[in-house]
């Protein structure tokens, strides 16, 4: 699966988050799951006269590593608490 993020050309550690009319930069950013959603965001940003000159589009390929049971992801003390109440 390919996903997309918008990265700041001036600071490779900053990614765009928010909406086309209100956005800011942070270390995690917004992830677009389809090229269509990315294009819609870009189109709406351009309609809002946003400066996209310092934006890079970064593609990530996601792969499933493994499947785990829910009990494996819960902290042991939380699991005990859930089972005893």
Q: Is the pLDDT of residue 85 over 80?
A: no
Cβ(17)–Cβ(26) below 8 Å: yes
Question: Is the predicted pLDDT of residue 9 greater than 90, yes or no?
Answer: yes
**1, 28 in Cβ contact below 8 A?**
no
Look up residue 3 and give its two tokens. Answer: 């996903």
Contact yes or no for 31/58 (Cβ under 8 A):
no
Tens of pLDDT, residue by residue over 30-64, are 999 999 999 999 999 998 888 889 999 999 999 99
What is the pTM (predicted TM-score) of this model?
0.77
């Amino acid at each position: 699966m390919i996903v997309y993020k918008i990265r700041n050309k001036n600071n490779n550690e900053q990614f765009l988050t928010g909406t086309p009319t209100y956005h800011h930069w942070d270390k995690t950013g917004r992830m677009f799951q389809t090229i269509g959603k990315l294009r819609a965001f870009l189109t709406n940003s351009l309609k809002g006269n946003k400066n996209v000159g310092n934006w890079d589009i970064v593609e990530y390929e996601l792969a499933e590593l493994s499947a785990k049971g829910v009990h494996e992801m819960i902290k042991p003390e939380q699991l005990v608490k859930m089972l005893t109440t």
